Amino acid sequence: MSSIPATTTNWPEIDWLRPDTQVDLSPSHGWYASLKPAFDLLFATLALIPALPIIGICWAIVRLSSPGPGFYSQSRAGKNGKPYRILKLRTMHHNCETNSGIQWSQKGDARVTRFGNFLRKTHLDELPQIFNVLKGEMSLVGPRPERPEVIRGKGLSELVPGYEHRLDVKPGVTGLAQLQLPADTDITSVRHKVVYDLYYIVNQNLWLDLRLMAATGMKAIGVGPVWLRRLYFLPSRSAVAGVFRQSEEPPPPPEPHSSAQFQTV
């Protein structure tokens, strides 16, 4: 396996895995999984009431502060890989990928506008995805939706163990991985996020979703992952890795080191 970039936090329980490690797990099939679409519709409808004026104001500022539309729509991989069009407030210069090509956003990305940087920090650019939830394309909570061309171009299904299982459920506006880890920057960061995604898929329940939605509001005002984990009793890295490793085929050998000292900061 390629070396881990110095900017990426090590995770011994996960980083040693080979890209072709097989992961066998099934999404939770309890009562909440059956009723989750109804809860999504209810909570999205309630959230839309205060969100609409905020979306309208942000849309107007985007239009006034940089050339181009206020919204942007982009293809994303939904449940079972079915593509859909995600709706977000535009945070980058219009048609910037015509020159840069498809790539993950980096810290200090010149493609991001000044107001777009604010929208990203506060996650207000995500609010229009409520309409995707109302259309049944997304859940309020779930794995982050990725572009099909990025999945193919970066070879994520081949390089990231268990990546295909992210598509067993609808993608989410927010989620456990999004709240505990930074945005994707390389294959290693995707590998780490998928571990959190798989933990959520196996353990999704109403109480966890309510905590994650509340934590999302706190993250928007700047609360970091450590405090979010403490305040909302989110699972530790060790607990997350344990569920992932139990699903490997064949079962992995015991790891001599704990990830407790490598907790997200």
- Tell me, what's the pLDDT at 231? 97
Element (H, E) at 173: strand 172-174
Whether the predicted pLDDT of 263 surpasses 80: no
Nearest to 201 by CA among 176, 182, 226, 181: 176
- Tell me, what's the pLDDT at 6? 37
Nearest to 227 by CA among 157, 180, 175: 180
Cα 244 to Cα 168: distance, rounded to the nearest angstrom: 15
Whether the predicted pLDDT of 140 surpasses 90: yes
The residue type found at 245 is R
Whether the predicted pLDDT of 256 surpasses 90: no
156-211 pLDDT per residue, tens: 999 999 999 999 999 999 999 999 999 888 999 999 999 999 999 999 999 999 99
For the chain, give the mean pLDDT: 88
- Tell me, what's the pLDDT at 25? 84
40-94 pLDDT per residue, tens: 999 999 999 999 999 999 999 999 999 999 999 999 999 999 999 999 999 999 8
Kindly report the pTM of this predicted structure: 0.87
- Show the DSSP H helices in the chain as ranges: 12-15, 31-65, 97-100, 114-122, 129-134, 148-153, 156-159, 176-180, 187-203, 206-220, 225-231, 237-246
Least confident of 10-19, 77-86, 140-149, 215-224: 10-19
Whether the predicted pLDDT of 251 surpasses 70: no
